[in-house]
A and B are shown apart, each in its own frame.
Chain A
Amino acid sequence: MSRSDAMTNVLWLQGASCGGCTMSILESGASGWFDELRQFGVNLLWHPSVSEETGEEAVEILQSVLDGKVRLDLLLLEGSVARGPSDTGRFNMLAGTNRSVYRWMLDLAPHAGYVIAIGSCAAYGGVPAAGSNPTDAVGLQFEGSDSGGALGAAFRSRLGLPVINVAGCAPHPGWMMETILALTTKDIAASDLDGYGRPKFVANHLAHHGCSRNEFYEFKASAETMSERGCLMEHLGCKATQAVGDCNQRSWNGGGSCTKGGYACIACTSPGFEGAQNFLETAKLAGIPVGLPTDMPKAWFVALAALSKSATPRRVRLNATADHVVVPPGRTTTKTKP
């Protein structure tokens, strides 16, 4: 065990998940995720999608953590905790162990230096908690926006932190890796997390910041149907002015983002995002979007929107409802005063 003593031991488990967080993090690292982990001294004790150990060999690894034979630095869960039916966790058994993932997490979490919820499912319940929530799915330390969840509100990991919630569905590979790596050097304190347990380096931004449609937003020049270029907030459901994340400040898959892709931010970093309906349609009351920017009084928003609409340049107005740029930016001129 000398190798793993010096390194940061990470155990990654999957609960009621779609596997998408793993698929996302596999994009991390210029020479691949495994290389990147090694470069930072991270030892992946076990990960269900990528490790060699299978069956009994894998169970032995989990057991050696419970027995205190292997130090567990970071415990990561991807996917929600399915507590049902009737609190047995049987909707999600850890294969080969006759024991639910719910039970495994309750047993393993106290051994972990830090516990990280990977993705909105593990953080808050996520999509499995939508609608009738047939499996009684919750997050590790939140049930939607209420604290509690599978481990309970009072849970603190061995090194004294609540569960760190790398929210997102799926989260950006950078959010996950940066959190993992910051924890290998114990660089995250309780004060670095927001009220929903999200690392502030992500949560201090809004998904709207840096959106390529920001100019349209300023003038309330809005797209009316799919594939138009205007702002998606007024008609097409964009919640990015209320959702945290630096989604539009970094690239997804080499240059994309939800709003760049032409569809609304559905606030996937927010607890309870899955409860919304009509994701790509803006809920309105008396013609005014219900979900206004969090820190803006409604009357101001209405007044400013009216004003900016009256001042919308022709270029911005026409491009907003076109799928291609129909009016390019005017030619700059060196002429000064007439």
Chain B
Amino acid sequence: MTRITIGPFNRVEGDLEVRLDIESGRVRRAEVTAPLYRGFEQILEGRPPLDALALAPRICGICSVSQSVAAAAALRDAMAIEAAPNGLLATSIAHAAENAADHLTHFYIFFMPDFAREAYAAHDWHAATHERFAATRGSAARDALPARARLLETMGIIAGKWPHSLAFQPGGTTRAIDLGERVRLLSIATAFRSFLERIVFADALENVLAITTADELDRWRDGRGGDFAHFLRLADSLALSGLGRGTGLMMSYGAYHGTDGELFPRGLFGPRAAIEPLPLAQITEDVSHAWMRDSSADPAHSSTIPDPDKPAAYSWCKAPRLSGQPIEVGAIARQTVAGQALIADLVSASGTNVRNRVIARLIETARIALAMEQWTRALRLSEPFCTNSCDIPDGSYVGLVEAARGSLGHWMAVRGGRIARYQIIAPTTWNFSPRDSFDVGGPLEQALVGTDVGDAGARAVAIQHIVRSFDPCMVCTAH
């Protein structure tokens, strides 16, 4: 058996190290390390609660709106106020823009360049894939980056700037949108739809979302242009549906909250492969393999105190568990829990895997592109966008949202007008968790086991695909 260390694992957000034990060309055991700790939870303790709105988003530059929205949700829980309906809509529009930008960045900048690598030079699709997707040089980046920048102009209107905005408040958003701005938001959403329809799907979004089964998807794909179909052909050629299988358990906290519920519902895709209510009280964090001191397992009562010399530890990431189980989160979990027909069909056939994760992300992008148009039209321009904040009594509060990469929770305890505790479990904390005290690995660790690396060892491209298929955000992971 040989042990290899892979790092720096780039084209992910932040820093990641993966260690693999290889036996007869297959991964026997994987250890995933988050090698960066900044200490946000410690930094937040002792501060006035509203300071979380300035500091918490700075956990992450790629999902700062998600972090803002989680902090604002926890503060709203604490203030026991209702946000202005316009504020919720504006938040959803901005949040959708960030999440869609994340999905684009993942697909074009982080994930696809691996198929342009020399390792695939023998395939008949390689030349075209290299021309299109080679890192920093492929033609796709020239399409995707300007489209991303245009989409993020949503932030200039709603949030002032991105990343790191203070526009997302417990009571709503900090500026009212006027008619001219609504039209600008619509024109951005329309431009985004047109980018998706021309470049990504080569079809109308409605047609893409009408595909409900794997067979229909195969028929739709044949002979089609666009980058999604390009990916589907690669996925077939490389059997990506057999790569990087997840644990089978998935959850979503529910996404894009409005006054009458959310666009994507909350739920658990449980051991019976059915959608069940999410037992939120069953969330715990295990620190047996984290460089962290023992503390309560319940995030509402735990602390985060580094213990850099702890034996058996190998990551700054704690191991979150739901009812004792590791859980996969992300677009595939959200769309499965939401019952999106195509994703449900793919998951029932082959579970979560490299191909299905990517498909789920792009299908979700199409769905939120349409939702952005609807939310923008639904704004009632003469009504308020923000209700007033009020004082926060002592107590424990929680804000749960879905970031692009999955379920994000902020647990905050307030005593005497100050933050007594602040605990964050980010999506990649779930997906890239280390082992727990039962020696059960996190979702990525499990997904890597069994992977055929042949003679390539640390250079095996399959490992790159599996890791990136989760779209990890390592800066969020240990924060």
Contact = CB atoms under 8 A, between A and B. Distances in A.
Interface in B128-168: 134-137, 141-142, 144-146, 148-150, 152-167
Contacts of A205: none
A20 B146 CA distance: 18
Smallest CB-CB A-B distances: 9 pairs: A261-B160, A20-B61, A96-B7, A95-B7, A262-B174, A256-B156, A254-B153, A32-B145, A253-B156
Give the bracket for the number of chain A residues in contact with chain B: 35 or more
B136 A34 contact: yes
B17 A96 contact: yes
A94 B160 CA distance: 34
A137 B388 contact: no
A31 B152 CA distance: 15
Interface in B376-399: 381-382, 384-386, 388-389
Nearest to B176: A323
A144 B142 CA distance: 38
Given A49-B11, A93-B35, A256-B160, 19 more contacts: A18-B60, A19-B14, A20-B164, A31-B142, A48-B11, A48-B15, A49-B13, A50-B11, A51-B11, A52-B116, A90-B308, A93-B15, A128-B38, A131-B46, A134-B43, A226-B171, A256-B156, A260-B160, A323-B386
B113 to A, nearest CB: 6
B160 A252 contact: yes
B176 A227 contact: yes
Given A35-B142, A85-B308, A92-B35, A263 B10 contact: no
A261 B159 contact: yes
A278 interface: yes
Contacts of A14: 14-15
Given A18-B59, A18-B61, A324-B178, A130 B43 contact: yes
B109 A227 contact: no
B9 A96 contact: yes
B107 to A, nearest CB: 13
Give the bracket for the number of chain B residues in contact with chain A: 35 or more
Interface stretch (B49-57, B220-228, B358-366): B49-57
Contacts of B293: none
Contacts of A226: 169, 171, 174, 386, 388-389
Given A127-B55, A263-B160, A323-B176, A91 B7 contact: no
A92 B8 CA distance: 12
A112 B456 CA distance: 34
B109 A130 contact: no
Contacts of A31: 142, 145-146
Contacts of B173: 227, 262
Contacts of B445: none
Interface in B2-53: 5-17, 33, 35-40, 42-48, 50-51, 53
A49 to B, nearest CB: 6
B62 interface: yes
A52 B162 CA distance: 26
Contacts of B60: 18-20
B166 A92 contact: no
Nearest to B146: A32
B140 to A, nearest CB: 10
A131 B54 CA distance: 13
15 contacts: A18-B58, A51-B11, A52-B136, A55-B7, A59-B8, A90-B308, A131-B43, A169-B58, A227-B175, A252-B162, A256-B159, A260-B160, A278-B50, A278-B51, A324-B382
Contacts of B9: 54-55, 95-96
Given A96-B7, A97-B8, A259-B160, A34 B388 contact: no
A135 B149 contact: no
A324 B389 CA distance: 19
Residue among A254, A257, A268 facing the most chain B CB atoms (10 A cut-off): A254
Contacts of A18: 58-62, 64, 163, 475
A82 B38 CA distance: 8
Contacts of A260: 160, 175
Contacts of A20: 58, 60-62, 64, 163-164
A253 B161 contact: yes
Interface in B425-465: 458-459, 464
Contacts of A134: 37-39, 42-43, 306
Contact of A266 (B54, B158, B169): B54
A56 interface: yes
